[in-house]
Amino acid sequence: MKIEVTDLRNDHDDSFVASQFGTYNATFTVKDFRLLRVFARDADGSIIGGLLADTYWQYLEVHKLWVSQAHRNKGHASRSMNAAEDEARLRGCKHALLDTFSFQALGFYQKLGYTEFGRLEGFSGKHKRHYLHKRLDGMHR
């Protein structure tokens, strides 16, 4: 056996590992993984904000939420999150989860009803990573 460590992307090898991982997981779960994307566009169709997420196993997992600097504090991020949560509910999701760094949007997510369930410290020597959860089915934690 040989262990290989690299920082180069190899789509074939990546796909193989992802496929094997998925095959293993399929023996324990249903296959209901779906991408969920939300885009805020200006009048000419340019993206001024976007949300990248997935839904699976009754969870919405938000990976990235971004709004351009010129369009912040106008409700675009809240409307994008609400749209993602509404779509997730239509897909049968009962929970949402995400993480954010201390220099990003912790207070924003808390205002939307997310609660912290975990935290790691020491990113880049000074930042915290906050892990957040929200019930989408109206039940309390």
Domain spans of the chain?
31-135
Question: What's the pLDDT score for residue 22?
Answer: 87
CATH architecture of 31-135: 3-Layer(aba) Sandwich (3.40)
pLDDT single digits (tens) 64-110 = 999 999 999 999 999 999 999 999 999 999 999 999 999 999 999 99
- What is the pLDDT confidence band of residue 139, given thresholds at 50, 70 and 90? confident
**Torsion, CA 108, CA 113, CA 116, CA 117, rounded to 10:** -150
Percentage above 70 pLDDT, the chain = 99
